[in-house]
Amino acid sequence: MIQPSDIPDIFTKRDLFLQKVKERIWAHPCDFNDTWRNLKSSVNKNDRRLAAGVLMPLIFRESPSDSSGTEGSFAILLIKRSSRVAQAGDLSFPGGMLNPIGDRILRYIFLYRLLSAVRQNTYGAAAGAKSPSSRLITLFMTTALREAWEETGLSPFRTALIGPLPTYNLTLFKRTIFPIAGFVENQGLFHPNSEVDKIVEIPLASFYRPDSLGSLQIAASGQKTSTSEYPCLIHHGNDGKEDILWGATFNITVEFLRIVMNYRLPETRKGPVISRTLSSGYLAADSTM
């Protein structure tokens, strides 16, 4: 079992960790093209998965005692979905469905900035602006930035592209996520819209704390015997409330840590067990996470 002493010290070093993240992500094969091709090749349009772009925002909170601004702690920025949308109460990355026409137009506004970031982060022959997936990377980055701005007020020009993460197929919905990692700096205040209950920051170190990892037992509304169990992270925020990270966002984060840190998820069944019943409207079709 992972002990608190095993939390990587590099999480407290801004420049060193960002450099490692960029190197590992761009060295990892990007599957955007293959996934996109598979989505488009579906014979039955009614069964075709929809594509969503999400942003995995990394933030660095400086240590009050560090005047250089290079030591502190890394965290991921999440939104907690409000009661006005489906999957209320879930934690997710900012993001949403691809707008094929609008996002392609908006992409040209960000194109120079996005491609410059891709070129700066070139590690290996398959990475960078010459990558076969570069057009899809910048397209889904545009989708993620647009949605993040709408949901949280996150400025697209305060977010630096880091690179693509492996695509992820949702199990409860016919949707495929194209995740993009980005680094948010000097954002200032966020301005969540009505879809967002609050902004939640979860330190990456939490994934190395045994008491933060557990299991979530899910039952559908009206069903008393059929339950499903998922690994989860239990986060206690500054507001004193407990939030549960599970599902796609949890798995994408674990995959990110695996790529960057060779992370292995410990046995979560040895941790706390949380029970939850999904509302009858949970599977409404407007969700992307």
CATH number, domain with residue 81: 3.90.79.10
Task: Check residue 288 and give its pLDDT.
Answer: 43
Assigned domain for 231 exists: no
Q: Three-state DSSP class for 153?
A: coil
How many domains are contained in the chain? 1
CA angle 285, 254, 234 (to 5 degrees): 75
**Whole-model pTM over 0.85:** yes
Task: Check residue 119 and give its pLDDT.
Answer: 47
Task: Check residue 224 and give its pLDDT.
Answer: 58
Task: Check residue 226 and give its pLDDT.
Answer: 66
Assigned domain for 235 exists: no
Residue type, 214: G
Task: Check residue 69 and give its pLDDT.
Answer: 65
Tell me the C-alpha to C-alpha distance, in Å, between residue 183 and each of 104, 186, 188, 259. 22, 10, 14, 17
Assigned domain for 121 exists: yes
Q: Please compute Rg for the chain using Cα positions.
A: 19
Task: Check residue 283 and give its pLDDT.
Answer: 64
**Using CA atoms, how far apart are residues 183 and 223, in angstroms rounded to an integer?**
42
Task: Check residue 67 and give its pLDDT.
Answer: 65
pLDDT digit string, tens, across residues 256-281: 999 999 999 988 778 889 998 887 77
Q: Three-state DSSP class for 285?
A: coil
Assigned domain for 199 exists: yes
Assigned domain for 289 exists: no
Task: Check residue 286 and give its pLDDT.
Answer: 47
Task: Check residue 237 and give its pLDDT.
Answer: 84
Write out the residue range of the structural domain in which residue 37 sits. Answer: 8-210
**Using CA atoms, how far apart are residues 224 and 286, in angstroms rounded to an integer?**
26
Assigned domain for 143 exists: yes
Residue type, 178: F
List all residues 6 or more positions away from 3 whose beta carbon is below 8 Å from its beta carbon: 210
Q: How far is CA 243 from the centre of its chain?
A: 16
Assigned domain for 111 exists: yes
Terminal Cα-to-Cα distance of the chain (whole angstroms): 30
Assigned domain for 182 exists: yes
Residues with pLDDT less than 50, the chain: 1-2, 118-119, 121-129, 285-289
196: tokens are: 């967002």
**Using CA atoms, how far apart are residues 208 and 4, in angstroms rounded to an integer?**
7
Dihedral of alpha carbons 56, 57, 58, 63, sign: negative
